[in-house]
Amino acid sequence: MAALRAIPRGRYVAILATLFALVGLRSLIGAHALATWLLENLPVTLGLLFLCVTYRRMPLSRVSYTLIFLFFCLHEIGAHWTYAKVPYDDWWRSLFGVTLNSQLGFARNHFDRLVHFSYGLLIAYPLREVFLRVANVRGFWGYFLPLDFAMSTSALYEILEWATAAVVGSDASNDFLGSQGDLWDSQKDMALASLGALLAMTVIALITWHYKRDFAREFGESLRPKIAAPFGEEAIAQIQMDSNGR
């Protein structure tokens, strides 16, 4: 951490941006299917645009930018080969003389599973930072909301994959979907993203509990109602009264 803090934030972000530009360029060169590469990089482009727009008003920590960078690099590997064809088995064989799938009993290419798990594991912390700084959440909600957001965006991504394949109906969209004939592919992908986020938030909670003396008090306080009166028909009636009073 001290080494990261020694590098000025702007310079550190510029280094990561330059490295990722090189990774993205290498991913594009000789891409297995250009149309699939473009589809895969659409969410990456939107994510980078968001980071650029918010950089001046709310720059993230160096840790968050590093985690995002690592996830995007994994994604670029999948985009280059298409997820179902990433030759990790060949790489493993060249190092150890046997395939990883044969050692683990896998019958399919599981690189997409790794990246879905990594989404939750690597992106949950940056999400937590945003929730803490923007919504000022505390205690339980500082851990639950990043998990919830990772789960919901994972589900949204699976829906978009299905919609793209259903509407476009091309080889590129099928590569983008990448189910490899697994009927429960979407559910497994969402489960792995959720597991990754849960693991990340559990680790952060344990670290915080170890160093923060009032962790238990803050956690319990975050679950207590801040407004005793129920919302619903009472709130609607109050809104109507306020509106009529104007």
Task: Encode pLDDT of 141-171 as tens digits.
Answer: 999 999 999 999 999 988 887 777 777 665 5
**What tokens does 138 get?**
């505390």
3-class state of residue 18 by DSSP: helix
Residue whose entry in the numeric block shows the structure tokens 């896998």: 106
- Angstrom distance (rounded) from CA 44 to CA 61: 19
Query: What pLDDT is stored for residue 130 in this prediction?
Result: 96
**Residues 115-134: tens digit of each pLDDT:** 999 999 999 999 999 999 99
pLDDT at 113 over 80: yes
- Angstrom distance (rounded) from CA 204 to CA 127: 12
Residue 41 to residues 25, 30, 153, 244: CA-CA distances in angstroms?
12, 15, 16, 50
Provide CB contacts within 8 A for 157, sequence distance 6+.
Answer: 43
pLDDT at 185 over 70: yes
Instruction: Tell which residue, 117, 184, 120, 109, has the closest CA to residue 146.
Output: 120
Predicted TM-score (pTM) of this structure: 0.88
The alpha carbons of the chain give a radius of gyration, in whole angstroms, of: 22
Residue 194, Cα to own-chain centre: how many angstroms?
Answer: 10
**What tokens does 70 get?**
């690592």
